Structure 1
Amino acid sequence: MKLNEALDTLKTEGYKYTKKREDILTFFSGVDGYRTASELLTFMAEKYDGLSYDTVYRNLHLFRELNILESTDLNGEKHFRLACGHDEHHHHFICQSCGKTKTIQACPMNYIQQDFPGYTIENHKFEIYGRCPSCQ
């Protein structure tokens, strides 16, 4: 997803456009991979003195609900990234050091769905964690 698409989604869903929200989305559009709320707060603190974790988390969770951001848990902490914007279903490899992601085209559900006769699977998540070549 690109920055303009994310801002359009906010407007379409009836949420106010603010400079803070634009700056949050700008932060995520400028990085490749998952980032923490702490990293975002450090970035935002340069411009917004006294910005609280509450404001940051409220916006992160709003953006997650609107599918502007994706989230995952790394090392016991929630991490966020700008949604891929891919139309096709896919999963990710996530570097545990730098948060960089790589798309995985294959979906394991294609192979294990037969193990669930009579079940309705409504959603799933598959991620592989490790170290990217730069972090090894």
Structure 2
Amino acid sequence: MNRKWPAGLKRTKTRLAVLEALDKAKQPLSAAEILRQITGPGKTGWYSTVYRILQTFVAAGLAAETSLPGRDAHCFELIRDVHQHYARCEMCRKIFPLEACPVDLLAKAIPDFHILSHRIELSGLCQDCYRKSSGNSRKESQP
């Protein structure tokens, strides 16, 4: 992890552990998921501490708070050079990162307008769940 630490923000073991968990994550994580990652056998931690650290990271511009379809908890991810959007399977809850941002294409089609922010939430069925649900509906409709 080669990230510039924000001026005035004290480096603590817990903050560094949270930052490392976010850096390694392939998708946004909730505070509870991060807590499980940074605590292990013989280690303890507090949900409230992790949540405060995440809020501090958001305020410092290190992380972004987001919500994902089908998730009740707010999730957090590092702010990277390239932002990411996700699709979520409604059945198995698996998350799929989108390869590109469709808004980049739309932005060129809107003259005299500069997009400052956007949010895309896609939900549906992954291929495996789609096959399972299609197979079940066919079986149910047969005499």
TM-score computed with the length of structure 1 as normaliser = 0.69
Q: Post-superposition shift, 1:23? A: 0.9
Give aligned-pair identity as a percent.
Answer: 21
8 Å contact from structure 1 (residues 68, 82) kept in 2: yes
Q: Post-superposition shift, 1:32? A: 0.5
Structure 1 pair 101–58 and aligned structure 2 pair: CA distance change class (3 A):
same
- Find out whether 1:43 has 2:37 as its counterpart: yes
Structure with larger RCO (C-alpha < 8 A, sep 6+): 1
Give the corresponding residue for 1:32: 26
- Find out whether 1:76 has 2:72 as its counterpart: yes
- Find out whether 1:101 has 2:94 as its counterpart: no
Q: Post-superposition shift, 1:76? A: 2.6
Give the corresponding residue for 2:11: 17
Alignment root-mean-square deviation, CA:
2.9
- CA-to-partner distance for each residue in 1:23-78, whole Å, 9 max, x for gaps? 111111222111111111111221631x2121111111111122211221122320
One-letter amino acid matched to 1:48: K
Structure 1: runs of 5 or more not aligned: none
8 Å contact from structure 1 (residues 100, 132) kept in 2: no
**Structure 2 counterpart SS, 1:77:** coil
- Find out whether 1:125 has 2:123 as its counterpart: no
8 Å contact from structure 1 (residues 92, 127) kept in 2: yes
8 Å contact from structure 2 (residues 88, 123) kept in 1: yes
One-letter amino acid matched to 2:120: E
Q: Please state which structure has a larger fraction of its residues in strand.
A: 1
Structure 1 pair 73–42 and aligned structure 2 pair: CA distance change class (3 A):
same
TM-score computed with the length of structure 2 as normaliser = 0.66
One-letter amino acid matched to 1:81: E
8 Å contact from structure 2 (residues 107, 115) kept in 1: no
Residues paired across the two proteins, number: 121
